[in-house]
Amino acid sequence: TFADFKKLTAHAKDYGFVFQSSEIYDGLSAAYDYGPLGVLLKNNLKEYWWRSMVQLHDNIVGLDASIFMHPKTWKASGHVDAFNDPLVDNKLSKKRYRADVLIEDHVAKIEGKLNKEIAKAQKRFGDAFDEAEFRATNGNVKRYLGQMEEINKRLATAMTDGNMEELRQMLIDLEIKDPESGAADWTDVRQFNLMFSTQLGNIAGEEGKLYLRPETAQGIFVNFLNVQKSTRQKLPFGIAQIGKAFRNEIVARQFIFRMREFEQMEMQFFIKPGTQMEWYNKWKETRMKWHRALGHPEEKLRFHDHDNLAHYADAAVDIQFDFPFGFKELEGIHSRTDFDLGAHMELSGKKMTYHDPQTKESYVPYVLETSIGADRLFLAAMSHALRTETVPGQDDENNVRDVMKLHPALAPIKAAIMPLKRNNPEIVKVAKDIFNDLRFRFDVQYDDTGAIGKLYRRQDAVGTPFCITVDFDTIEEGENKGTVTVRDRDTLEQTRIKIEDLAAFIGPKVDM
């Protein structure tokens, strides 16, 4: 069975994946620290993204832009005027919420009822069950679908129009209650800008006001011509970047899903105007394939079209992942037109056009963006990987194990090396020699802190694909001399391998 959310967060802490920030001071909400294993897993995820985007594409190059940017950047991008969340307070509990999120949660509840209805019917009809037909004909399901569609439409219109009064009316009409107090007593809905601001040096007032970037994308846009000219790229080409972004989120919950300081992996693909739908579809498909290649099954991923398009987009879709709290956005794919380059060109007075050497035309390129949160990807990978299972063929009370079935290329530790007897100097020496040899190629761990069975369980719990054990056969005369056992995390099979063949055995299985 998959771990539930509570178990997942406890596991993340206990094994050194994720800690709450400033925990000794009771924590800072929506800020988290990655522990020793967490930083390895996160680095692997970033590396995997970077390689597939930059290393494996002739026409995508990298960038690492600064977090601070000229304040005019955020005027041009629209973030000063339009990067707002609709906030509402509950009069009784004094708790603050995002009105749109309360409404989305309400829709999710209806979807939950709908799914229950489907699961029930599935059980009743077994193999004969036809979900499409059931959806089209069952009265309850049709009613739920209708309700969801109506609410989503109304929400989309209100958000696009920035109609705060309508959002409040929706809370009332849908009888949405405060999850905290159970009361439906709402204040007016107000807009709240999500950017963090700070002051530049000793310059006071608006003049010196700086923002922490709320997305990495703008560092790419303002460098478009620097990169294009220095790399002599021709359209279409992309610029990829991994970096921190900051948003003063109000709904700070769900662990690392929504943080105030987080990391984005973004790629802006510059294209000829008019070709955006072609590239939009191509990147949708490419990114979905990438998620599947990480080992996430089809049913955990889905596309979700945006009902309300952001001011900069002419098409947008989310890749949603089935997190322990339901399907939520993991990655966004946006057709941003020439909005950003055009806006920067206008405000800076600098040319942002590309000269097409073939057609001899000059134009402002259109942009296709893929944007994914490294932290959300981390949460997705970990939540899918962590399971509790009974060990086949073992029927004592120790037959239950927690195991993280991460793709071996993502696993923080690739192999653990253990001596069967930690008080046997010869066994220990061989084990340490193996460790000191393999550490040059892989992240490996030497562990002699318990009985082998216990050590195996610990490595299972952190997703280590291979456990290497040095035993008496390794050192004693006989056909197994110079070999060790390698235990596979998933099949639990143990194979005897020659020590000198270990790197060649592990390498292809854990390489990206």
CB 262 → ligand ATP: shortest distance, Å?
4
> Token pair 């809905």 is at which residue?
189
Contact status, residue 193 vs residue 74, Cβ threshold 8 Å: no
- Binding mask 262-301 toward ligand ATP (x if CB under 6 A, else -) reads x-x-------------------------------------
Q: Is 241 in the site for ligand ATP (CB under 6 A)?
A: no
269 known ligand binder: no
**Would you count residue 329 as binding ligand ATP (CB under 6 A)?**
yes
- In angstroms, the CA 384 to CA 41 distance is 14
> Is residue 216 a contact point for ligand ATP (CB under 6 A)?
no
Q: Is 333 annotated as a binding residue?
A: no
Rg (CA), the chain: 27
Q: How far is the CB of 264 from ligand ATP (least distance, A)?
A: 5
User: Pick from 375, 447, 460, 471: which binds ligand ATP (CB under 6 A)?
Assistant: 375
Measured between alpha carbons, how far is 206 from 215 in angstroms, rounded to an integer? 21
Q: What angle do CA 440, 444, 450 make, to 5 degrees?
A: 145
SS3 166: helix
Nearer to ligand ATP, 258 or 287 (CB): 258
- Is 372 annotated in a binding site? The answer is yes
Cβ burial of 312 (10 Å; 0-12, 13-18, 19+) is buried
Cα 241 to Cα 237: distance, rounded to the nearest angstrom: 14
Measured from the CB atom, the residue of 249 and 488 that comes closer to ligand ATP is 249
* 375 in a known ligand binding site: yes
Nearer to ligand ATP, 271 or 330 (CB): 330
369 is in an annotated binding site: yes
CB of 259 vs ligand ATP, minimal distance in Å: 4
Q: What is the rounded (10 degree) CA torsion for 312, 328, 179, 177? A: 60
Residue 485 CA to its chain's centroid (Å): 35
Q: Would residue 90 be called left, alpha or beta, if left means φ above 0 and alpha means ψ between -120 and 50 degrees?
A: beta
Question: Long-range pairs for 355-361 at CB < 8 Å and ≥24 separation?
Answer: 356/235, 356/272, 357/234
Shortest Cβ contact with ligand ATP: which residue?
373
Rule CB under 6 A: say whether 372 interacts with ligand ATP.
yes
List the x/- string, 332-351, binding to ligand ATP by CB under 6 A: x-------------------
Neighbour count for residue 326 (Cβ, 10 Å): 14
User: What x/- string results for residues 133 through 172 when contact with ligand ATP is judged by CB under 6 A?
Assistant: ----------------------------------------
Nearer to ligand ATP, 310 or 499 (CB): 310
How many Cα neighbours within 13 Å face the side chain of 267? 28
Was 373 annotated as part of a binding site?
yes
User: Would you say 332 or 465 has its CB closer to ligand ATP?
Assistant: 332
Is 159 labelled as part of a ligand binding site?
no
DSSP labels, 40-95: HHHHHHHHHHHIIIIIT-TTEEEE---SB--THHHHHTTHHHH-EEEEEEBTTT--
Residue 247 touches ligand ATP, criterion: CB under 6 A? yes
Q: Of residues 324, 373, 408, 412, which one binds ligand ATP by CB under 6 A?
A: 373
Q: Choose one: 137-145, 286-294, 325-333, 480-488; the region binding ligand ATP (CB under 6 A).
A: 325-333
> Is 215 annotated as a binding-site member?
yes
State how far the Cα of 223 lies from the Cα of 214, in Å rounded to an integer: 17
Residues annotated within the binding site for substrate are 98, 215, 262-266, 369-373
The binding site for ligand ATP (CB under 6 A) comprises 247, 249, 258-259, 262, 264, 329-332, 371-373, 375-376
Residues annotated within the binding site are 98, 215, 247-249, 257-266, 329-330, 369-376
